[in-house]
Amino acid sequence: MIRHYVEVPRAETLTDWGKVAALADTHIWTEETVRQRFDWEGKGMAAGSIHVALARVWELGEPFSFAYEPRHGGCRSWVEIPEPPTGWRGAARPVMSDADFARASEGFPR
């Protein structure tokens, strides 16, 4: 059952540790974990870089359910799901107010 959806209005790859460290109060990870990921190299990422995304969460007006299929299981980076019902976006409510989201977005690097 899906109760929320996320929009990502901006995403960046940061190579300046100072800009990464400045985001410390906007996520749940410890500095050690973020530093390990910043220093990691592989899968097209150079050491000394990290991807960050500005995400906005919306609560759906009605939860969206669909039947489980084997293609949804296991360790997946991406799964295709059925189209949600018509009108789902109009009934969704932002979890954070527009004003609060605007304030939270101010510190996101450009």
Are the C-beta atoms of 63 and 2 separated by less than 8 Å?
yes
Look up residue 71 and give its amino acid: R
Contacts of 60 (CB under 8 A, 6+ apart): 2, 3, 4, 5, 84, 88, 91, 92
What's the pTM? 0.78
Contacts of 85 (CB under 8 A, 6+ apart): 62, 64
35-92 pLDDT, tens per residue? 999 999 988 888 999 999 999 999 999 999 999 999 888 888 888 889 888 999 999 9
Joined together, the tokens standing for residue 73 give 């299981």
4-13 pLDDT, tens per residue? 999 999 999 9
